[in-house]
Amino acid sequence: MNFDCTEDQLAVQRMAREFADEQVAPRAKELDEKAEFPADLVAKLGELGLMGVAIPPEYGGSGMDYVTYVLAMEEISRACAGTGVIMSVNNSLVCDPLLKYGTDRQKREILTPLASGRQLGCFGLTEPGAGSDPAAMRTTVRQVGDELVLNGEKIFITNAPNADWAIIFATEDKEKKHKGISAVLLPLKNHPGVTVGPKEIKMGIRASHSSSISMEDARVPVANRLGERGQGFKVAMTTLDAGRIGIAAQALGIAAAAFRESVAYAKERQTFGKPIAEHQAIAFLLADMATELDAARLLTLRAAWLKDHGRPFSRESATAKVYAAEMCMKLTTKAIQVHGGYGYLKEYPVERHFRDAKITEIYEGTSEIQRLVIANHLLKA
């Protein structure tokens, strides 16, 4: 067993860390307060090759692997979790399925600008009545001649207000339930029949914007179907298997930031004549935080490593996601405890980390859904 990263992986990690420390972290507080989409930082992520980390260079990506993607995601999310999710959606929910299921033309014309960061993508699965149970979706797609016609509404879609492309999941044959769902590549900007709603006002990850996408007879060529007719549910589920590794890495980043703040504060803050780090109750809190963060990092890297080696990783990515997300929520709660009353103030970054943490237990499958995935794997064995 080898726990070492390669030189190339470490080089990308260093580059992401430097960019995160120098250019992302100083902006994070303001981006959060103003709920501002960091267009310039996203463009720079593209220039650094971080918008298509595991996509081959011939399609605009960096040609690295998922372990590298995890390392980079942790660094960017440590600085700003909102910027982190903008990156993760483009990488794992959009570029990944385009690489896996796309035709040559889709890869050349749609994947390449997305993976190079010249354009931005989003993933449209959730609907008002279909979140954890996406097969209950009502959005329809009909083939009319050589066109596909979309009708329906997607909600909560991360990046939608800023995206050029959406992968929309829609039912082509309601009778066939999940086997009747297809995936369709839909241009979002100034496309007839498409309305992108206003950004939602969110508790955390406020630098990233989420909104609805409404489709009223929105037409695209048949060549924009991603994968086969009726293969959309599989496209969505396999994409989420990999996407969850990215969200686990986002949780690592948020937790790592809160941990670092807590250690620094505990060494500096004095009560009863000594730094609070010297009270064993606080030292043990820090020890627990470090232990759980380590465990989550190992689970996340294991899932990424399995994917990189072409091995099954669905259970392992769900395991990494549920553990890392719940670790992140617990750790950021402890971080506020270490900071006492100051931790409750907006002035201290742990308040933002605590708000950012919660979403990791919700999107790309709630913690309950991850447990369902894990249990299904255990019980079918």
**CB closer to ligand FAD, 25 vs 362:** 362
Q: Which of 84/124 has CB closer to ligand FAD?
A: 124
Cβ proximity to ligand FAD: between 201 and 381 the closer is: 201
Candidate list 120, 168, 226, 359; residue touching ligand FAD; CB under 6 A: 359
User: Which one of the listed residues 75, 127, 172, 364 is annotated catalytic?
Assistant: 364
Instruction: Name the minimum Å distance from CB 242 to ligand FAD.
Output: 14
Phi, psi at 130, each rounded to 5°: -150, 95
Question: Smallest gap, in angstroms, from Cβ of residue 159 to ligand FAD?
Answer: 7
d(CA 194, CA 168): 12
Stretch that binds ligand FAD, among 156-164, 173-181, 273-281, 340-348 (CB under 6 A): 156-164
202 makes contact with ligand FAD (CB under 6 A): yes
Place of tokens 């549910």: 233
Residue 105's contacts (CB-CB under 8 Å, 6 or more residues apart) are 223
Structure tokens at 345: 């103030």
Query: Does the footprint of ligand FAD cover residue 119 (CB under 6 A)?
Result: no
| 366 binds ligand FAD per the rule CB under 6 A | yes
Dig out the tokens for 251 from the structure: 């949780």
Side-chain half-sphere CA neighbours of 297 within 13 A: 18
As beta bridge partners, residue 274 has 271
Handedness of CA 329, 335, 340, 344 (dihedral sign): negative
Q: Does 211 bind ligand FAD (CB under 6 A)?
A: no
Query: Does residue 210 interact with ligand FAD by CB under 6 A?
Result: yes
CA 18, 58, 101, 150 torsion-angle sign: positive
| Contact of 213 with 169, CB cutoff 8 Å | no
Contact yes or no for 213/124 (Cβ under 8 A): yes
- Please report whether residue 363 would count as binding ligand FAD according to CB under 6 A: yes
Query: Strands, E, within 244-285: which ranges?
Result: 270-271, 274-275
Q: Judged by CB under 6 A, which stretch of 4-12, 97-105, 122-130, 211-219 contacts ligand FAD?
A: 122-130
DSSP 227: S
Q: Which residue's CB comes closest to ligand FAD?
A: 131
- Residue 77 as a binder of ligand FAD (CB under 6 A): the answer is no
Nearest alpha carbon to residue 226 among 308, 109, 116: 109
**125 makes contact with ligand FAD (CB under 6 A):** yes
Active site residue 364: yes
- Binding of ligand FAD at residue 238 (CB under 6 A)? no
CB of 310 to ligand FAD, least distance (A): 27
> In the bound complex, what is the minimum distance in angstroms from residue 7's beta carbon to ligand FAD?
34
Of 111, 88, 180, nearest in space to 140 by CA: 180
Size, binding site for ligand FAD by CB under 6 A: 22
Kindly tell me which residue out of 9, 83, 88, 126 binds ligand FAD, with binding defined by CB under 6 A: 126
Closest approach of ligand FAD to the CB of residue 128, in Å: 8
Query: Which 3 state secondary structure label does DSSP give 111?
Result: helix
Cβ-contact 164, 121 below 8 angstroms: yes
User: Where do contacts with ligand FAD occur on this chain (CB under 6 A)?
Assistant: 89, 122-126, 131-132, 156-158, 202, 210, 359, 362-366, 368-369, 372
List active site positions: 364
